[in-house]
Chain A
Amino acid sequence: MSFARAACAAIAAMLILAACDQPGSDGRDRVVYRHAIDGMPASLDPAHAANVYSSTLVVNLYDTLFRYRYLSRPYELAPNLASGMPEVSEDGLTWTIRLRENVRFADDPAFPDNRGREVTASDVVYSLGRHFDPATRSQGAWLWRGKITGLEEWIDGGADPDRRIPGLHAADDMTVVIELTEPYPQLAHTLAMALSAIVPREAVEHYGREFGVRPVGSGPFLLKQFDETRAVLKRNLDFDRGALDLAAEGHDPQRHAELGLGSLDGEAYPFIDRLEIHFIAEPTTRWNSFVAGEVDNVMVPPEQADRVLDSHDPLRFSPEIEQRYHTLAEPEAGFVLYGFNMANEDIGHHPDEQIDSANRALRCAMRQAFDWQERNDTFYQGLGQVFPGVIPPFLDAFDPALDAGSTARDPQQARSLLQAHEWTPETLPQLTYGLEASVHQRQMFEQFRARMSAVGIPQDRLRSRSFASFGDFSRAIANRELDLFLMGWTMAWPDAQYALQLFYGPNAAPGANSFNYDNPEFDRLFERAAALEEGEERTALYRQLNEMVIDDCVHIGSLSRTRLHLWHRHVRMLPDREMLGGYFLRFVDIGAAP
């Protein structure tokens, strides 16, 4: 090809590409929403979507069987890829889930002729089964392990996807049947998590390790670009879930009047052509990007809270902010807490009863030395809610009458505990405190160490170990390399079981039980509660489990933060990233800019 021809071809290609960014074929301007989040997903493989950053993208690129209704609070499940809610047998052991018809995976070279095929029940079976293939390195296998009939044998037999799992199979092309070893009422919630998103086997095998950055799903958006700074998604034109039924999504004309969502009722979604998700970890940059109009939303950094609020109690935004932006203040569906590594005999469980008791005293003393209210005031502008245990206030099982003494600073009691168990600066163990390399985390460490120092735990007993990324930090916890760490836990479903499973023995690291708490009585009660339907008995058991964790001083905590969201007036949405989600993004619309 001559140079002139090559140049002409290149110019033609550029013109075509440029045309792609012009107004849509229906004549209206391309609708672009630019969403900012405070972290970057490490992978877009649903099997690794265990945090809010990955989930935000995964639930928009893939389909899950169920999702949470857009506006209903308390959170309420709705069918997504499933055509309806699951049919559960009377004994609670057999679940039948029917799928929507004519849902297709996106066109991709992984498929014959590059043409995406219909999503079937076999894809659901494959997607759940691959969590148990060691090569997947799934972060969600614990959700279903030990709960599905014959699963363990199938795993022991090599987790071969071509072999049938007795308790997880396709009854026909559009029907999935799950048989459980015991009732598991939370199963539907697990099937709304990004971890359970449906992937095509062809793409997993075609892309191998690259699958984490080459998503092939059936969700409302398709990935166009993904790097360290942002992900660009475009509308999936094959995605068809009918018209938006606002009433069914929990729309309350009074409560949601300010959001301007009414005009979207009855319209097919998604409403935007292009979704940009910007990863901006630095709070100042995130705020400045929002103010400059480079992104359409911001989760207000705590340092900025006083600039946007008129009053902390009751919480009220300033009139100027209210006039300029949409606002939302809501408690997070989660909490932060300090945890001890109970597998370390220097601070945790010990076979010798006397040492075990002394270790417990040391943990309790450290708990009493710490001041959660100070942490709240220092880092969260006093907007968070400190509570004892691990059942946060937004859950039904939260016990408002529970003694809050475990969260109050009591240096005198801390010293007494240390003295009673003959802990001295010389006998205290040296503990490794893990943190991500950030200013905030380092200051939190200094605050923690200073409070320990004030009750006689010398500063050199607490050694910090910082990690460049959240992934490295999580890995160190999973490898039991840290003795003490601050962690956040975002609820994936609105039930205390999701918080209490942090202490369930079989979930020990690298599972969700990062504390490696091992208490057979706790495990027995937890298993009993897990099989119960919602009710007083289950709530009583949850509260009992919560108190066991407090009594054993396994953690120091906890605190639920309050999120302050702002978004531009011309954006019509309710941004809710709780429940590890980003489902709301399919319902975002952009009006005329002011």
Chain B
Amino acid sequence: MNTVRTLSVHKRPWSVVRTDHIATLVAIAYLAAALGVWLGLWADNWAEITGTMWADPSAAHWLGTNRLGQDILVRAVASTATAFEVGLAVALSSSIIGGLLGAVAGHFNGSPVDELILWLKGTIDAIPFYLLVVAIAFALQGHAMAMHLAMILAFWTTTARVVRAETIRIGQSGFIEAARAGGSTASRIIFRHLLPNLVHVLLVQATLVFVAAIKAEVVLSFLGIGLQDSISWGLMLAEAGQDIMAGQYMNFLVASLCLFGLVMAASLLADRLQDRLDPRTRHQRSVDIG
């Protein structure tokens, strides 16, 4: 007889951490780098000119300097904090908005409320992402949070779509029917019964959005429509475009590798989370194990 192994909700995330040590270690290293920046322990002098133009790696500048004489390592570390700030802000906000609207749409499936949310989602999805960012940046007159707002506006729709589908599925369960029969209000059903059962979906979505937001920030900053008065790997790559013409590759290599490392680690963790927490893939996995 086949044995189906299942994991409790509380144990699942931790088991993911243990199953992908390298990705976890890399993610922790990045998080530690970002924490250090936030706490002011290092890299707060990323804007200062501490060396000469395009200096080679040395004891004073481990990865050399850029065109202005700024330390490339310091700027790369400071950019880690930026990546986390953007990734976390966008992931959290879009998960909250997408989760709430998705749950409401799913609960009121087929009603005008559902239609309205679907229409809003469809309208936003119809606008090309980069066009949306430019439009919002223009509307906000270069406000520092323009890029964050644009990403939140663009990314909540995917979360909402997944949550809506899952809500419709759960809505047919006996315990929801029982709650309805018992006279529970819609808000009580959504907040007390539906959303707690959607945590796994939101967690996976948030991780995916986190990765997508970091990548989008780099692209937007590279294009000059992202961060305005800060430092990020995207800005470093944009600077590297000029450096490469002069035969200087360090800025490009460091920013690219930093981005690659974090995106790879976060993507691996997101995949593993999805494998473990998504009921469909979990079921498939359980059968395979069995």
Q: Which residues of A contact B (CB under 8 A)?
A: 283-284, 287, 301, 303-304, 306, 377-378, 437-440, 442-443, 446-447, 449-451, 453-454, 459, 463-468
Contacts and interface: CB of A to CB of B under 8 A. Distances in A.
Given A287-B245, A439-B238, A378 B53 contact: yes
A284 to B, nearest CB: 6
B49 A464 contact: no
Given A303-B242, A464-B229, A446 B47 contact: yes
A459 B67 contact: no
Interface of B: 47-49, 53, 67-68, 70, 138, 142, 224-225, 228-229, 235, 238-239, 241-243, 245-246
B49 A451 contact: yes
A284 B47 contact: no
Nearest to A447: B68
A306 B246 CA distance: 8
A468 B140 CA distance: 13
B239 A465 contact: no
Contacts of B228: 464, 466
Nearest to B239: A439
B246 A378 contact: no
7 contacts: A284-B241, A301-B245, A303-B242, A304-B245, A437-B224, A446-B47, A450-B70
Contacts of A446: 47, 68, 70
B145 to A, nearest CB: 15
Given A451-B49, A463-B229, A466-B142, A284 B70 contact: no
A550 B287 CA distance: 82
A450 B68 contact: yes
User: For chain A, what secondary structure do more than half of its interface residues adopt (helix, strand, loop), or is it mixed?
Assistant: helix
A446 B245 CA distance: 21
A446 B47 CA distance: 7
B245 A443 contact: no
A378 B241 CA distance: 15
Name the residue in B47, B142, B229 with the highest tally of chain A Cβ atoms < 10 Å from its Cβ. Answer: B229
A283 B68 contact: no
Contacts, number: 55
Given A306-B246, A378-B68, A443-B239, A438 B224 contact: yes
**Most chain B C-beta atoms within 10 Å of own C-beta, residue among A442, A446, A463, A465:** A446
B39 to A, nearest CB: 19
Contacts of B246: 303-304, 306
A439 B245 contact: no
B194 to A, nearest CB: 44
A499 to B, nearest CB: 29
A456 to B, nearest CB: 13
Contacts of A464: 228-229
Given A304-B245, A439-B224, A442-B235, 14 more contacts: A283-B242, A283-B245, A284-B245, A306-B246, A377-B53, A443-B67, A443-B68, A443-B239, A450-B47, A451-B49, A464-B228, A464-B229, A466-B142, A467-B142
Contacts of A304: 245-246
B142 A449 contact: no
A378 B67 contact: yes
A459 B224 CA distance: 21
A303, A306, A463, A468, most chain B CB atoms within 10 A: A303
B242 A447 contact: no
Given A446-B70, A463-B229, A468-B138, A439 B49 contact: no
A447 B49 CA distance: 7
Contacts of A454: 49
A370 to B, nearest CB: 12
Contact of A453 (B48, B53, B242): B48
A423 to B, nearest CB: 21
Nearest to B49: A450
A443 B246 CA distance: 16
Nearest to B68: A447
A433 to B, nearest CB: 10
B242 A440 contact: yes
Contacts of A463: 229
A468 B68 CA distance: 23
A450 B242 contact: no
A481 B78 CA distance: 31
A291 B224 CA distance: 26
Contact of B47 (A438, A439, A440, A449): A449
A287 B53 CA distance: 23
